[in-house]
Amino acid sequence: MSNGASQALYAPLPANVDISRPAGRAAFLRAFLGEQPGGDLTVASPVDGTVLARLKSDSAAEIDAKIARSALAFEAWRQVPAPRRGELIRRFGETLRAAKRDLAQLVTLECGKVLSESLGEVQEMIDICDFAVGLSRQLYGLTIASERPSHRMAETWHPAGPVGVISAFNFPVAVWAWNAALAIVCGDSVVWKPSEKTPLTALACQSLFAQAARDFAEAPEGLLEVVIGARAAGEALADDRRLAVISATGSTRMGRELAPRVAARFGKTILELGGNNAVIVAPSANLDLALRAVVFGAAGTAGQRCTTTRRLFVHETVRPEFVDRLKRAYGSLRIGDPFDDGVLVGPLIDKAAFDGMLSALDEAQAHGAGVTGGDRVLADLHPEAFYVQPAIVEHAAADANVMSETFAPILYVLPYTDLADAIARNNAVPQGLSASIFTNDLREAELFTSALGSDTGIANVNLGTSGAEIGGAFGGEKETGGGRESGSDAWKAYMRRQTQTVNYGSDLPLAQGVEFPI
């Protein structure tokens, strides 16, 4: 197992083990992870700042060895029929069902999101496993009409090779599962580098996957490798020619640095980067519906989602009422320990996230904006944790330059009068992940989702920017990276396409009527 730790196969915890309290954490972590030997990487819980574990970062030699095992596993795994590969993922999904609450508690403990959201994240893993199982019998190609007599043309898909997955802290297990479940049914092996802020959930998933594969004869050693480390570990994956595909989730800055490294060796990337997402509230909108969506989209996960609602354009005719209701809703949000019932907003991941939020609010105020909220709370109770009030920033006029994508609960609110102008302002940011409009006007809804509308990869009508289903391909345009993960035909990114032509005749006609007599 990674880091020299003993491999632990997960067993459900007794009901009286409560990991929301320090006394229950040691037993919980041992059940998932085995004994950890200690090392240079300190993992602390954003819930209260306590140290959960100290792990050893993988050396360059250890990373090389893990990639070598993955490459060897790929040679065997690609020969396994796809429906059998799907059977392994079916078993993994069943393992996740049994471990759902325990794994969700670990997600909350390590990344700080409220337990309801963590349960939803593990459910995403289960759902993508179900999707991948069906996909394992539907890796369809095409039959193409040939212009030449006695020729058959076809397009088929083959496993691409070992896949490197670099995941972010805010969805420490679901986004990996989107990639891994599809890659494995497509015949690929997986090397996973989780965020250095949330490596424990990755090791737990490795343990759960090992349990699912324990009695699966075709599963080779090295099918799932986990690499522990920070930036240097990610760079090692980006530079390694043995990894055919690198799927990376993180900031636009990270993608801008990683993509050229992979491209330099002609590797393939799937990039899921930043999202400066907007909601438009039109005059005909159901304001009750819009309010719920905006508050969840902006404050859920403490604003630490790539699909978080960061900008809100409200029509002047409904703006006073809607903003007043929005502020009252913000005032009622319960902020606190994410394990507690009724808490809707947990902590930021760390002090750096808090400092970034303060800097963004200071910049907005310097540009004349009014700020409601944004204060740190519960510092006396949790001095090493960073709980904040979600902030509303009101601008009198549009200024996209000060509406930066800060990974924190900051919502910029601006007025609009003309829908075409609001759509243009929605599009006037470098990112292009998610956007939505609340309207009961059919023409407005159709315009927003047309080629003249939102330029985002995800465009919604009468629901928020956050909370995508696994059935659709997830991703965005522009500086969001252009990648697609999860549903639809995202599986093609983990395979290589081959056009095949078979001549079953006795002549050799050339395409396009070319003559070459010999």
Tens of pLDDT along 86-97?
999 999 999 999
Burial of 153 (0-12, 13-18, 19+ CB in 10 A): middle
Report the C-alpha gap between 230 and 58 in whole angstroms.
9
| Virtual torsion, Cα 234, 236, 239, 241, nearest 10 deg | -120
| Virtual torsion, Cα 34, 35, 41, 43, nearest 10 deg | 60
Please give the structure tokens belonging to residue 483: 């990648």
Report the C-alpha gap between 93 and 133 in whole angstroms.
9
Mean pLDDT of 151-175: 98
**Res 416: pLDDT:** 95
Task: State the CATH number of the domain containing residue 189.
Answer: 3.40.605.10
Strand partners, 280: 313, 437
Whether residue 507 lies inside any domain: the answer is no
Taking a C-beta distance cutoff of 8 angstroms, is the pair 422, 313 a contact?
A: yes
Find tokens 């002047």 and name the residue. 316
Report the C-alpha gap between 284 and 286 in whole angstroms.
7
Taking a C-beta distance cutoff of 8 angstroms, is the pair 400, 394 a contact?
A: no
Both 315 and 333 in a single domain?
yes
**Res 196: pLDDT:** 97
Question: Residue 138 carries which side chain, given as an amino acid letter?
Answer: Q
Closest residue by Cα to residue 149 from 499, 500, 506? 506
- Band of residue 396 on the pLDDT scale cut at 50, 70, 90: low
Q: What is the pLDDT of residues 412-427, one digit of tens each?
A: 999 999 999 999 999 9
Both 210 and 63 in a single domain?
yes
- The average confidence (pLDDT) of the chain is 94
Query: What is each CA distance from 488 to 134, 171, 432, 470, in whole angstroms?
Result: 12, 21, 19, 9
**Res 9: pLDDT:** 63
Taking a C-beta distance cutoff of 8 angstroms, is the pair 399, 385 a contact?
A: no
Q: Which of 272, 405, 444, 479 is catalytic?
A: 272
Both 183 and 294 in a single domain?
no
Single residue among 435, 454, 472 that ends a domain in this structure: 472
Q: What is the pLDDT of residues 349-392, one digit of tens each?
A: 999 999 999 999 999 998 889 999 999 999 999 999 999 999 99
Both 69 and 165 in a single domain?
yes
Whether residue 514 lies inside any domain: the answer is no
Domain count, the chain: 2
Is 469 a catalytic site residue? Answer: no
Both 268 and 281 in a single domain?
no
Would you say the pTM of this structure is higher than 0.75? yes
Q: What is the pLDDT of residues 238-266, one digit of tens each?
A: 999 999 999 999 999 999 999 999 999 99
**Res 5: pLDDT:** 42
Whether residue 510 lies inside any domain: the answer is no
Backbone angles phi, psi at 3, to 5 degrees: 65, 15
What angle in degrees, to the nearest 10, is found between the helix axes of 199-213 and 174-185?
30
Whether residue 511 lies inside any domain: the answer is no
Give the end-to-end CA distance of the chain in Å, rounded to a whole number.
Answer: 62
**Res 161: pLDDT:** 98
The answer on pLDDT for 192 being more than 50 is: yes
Both 77 and 173 in a single domain?
yes
- Cβ neighbours of residue 103 under 8 Å, at least 6 residues apart? 96, 122, 173, 201, 204, 205, 208
- Band of residue 401 on the pLDDT scale cut at 50, 70, 90: low
- Domain containing residue 263: 22-273+481-498
Mean pLDDT of 184-207: 97
Both 142 and 209 in a single domain?
yes
**Res 167: pLDDT:** 98
Q: Concatenated DSSP letters for 313-353?
A: EEETTTHHHHHHHHHHHHHH--BS-TTSTT--B---SSHHH
**Res 35: pLDDT:** 72
Taking a C-beta distance cutoff of 8 angstroms, is the pair 456, 434 a contact?
A: yes
**Res 2: pLDDT:** 39
- Band of residue 34 on the pLDDT scale cut at 50, 70, 90: confident
The answer on pLDDT for 3 being more than 60 is: no
Question: Residue 82 carries which side chain, given as an amino acid letter?
Answer: A
Both 281 and 267 in a single domain?
no
Closest residue by Cα to residue 194 from 238, 242, 228, 218? 228
Whether residue 330 lies inside any domain: the answer is yes
Both 122 and 157 in a single domain?
yes
Whether residue 378 lies inside any domain: the answer is yes
- Band of residue 11 on the pLDDT scale cut at 50, 70, 90: low
Mean pLDDT of 175-193: 98
Both 88 and 165 in a single domain?
yes
401 compared with 95, residue with greater pLDDT: 95
Task: State the CATH number of the domain containing residue 323.
Answer: 3.40.309.10
- Cβ neighbours of residue 100 under 8 Å, at least 6 residues apart? 119, 122, 123, 126
Both 253 and 120 in a single domain?
yes
Strand partners, 192: 165, 226
Whether residue 235 lies inside any domain: the answer is yes
**Res 96: pLDDT:** 97
**Res 19: pLDDT:** 75
Both 69 and 120 in a single domain?
yes
Whether residue 4 lies inside any domain: the answer is no
- Band of residue 399 on the pLDDT scale cut at 50, 70, 90: low
**Res 176: pLDDT:** 98
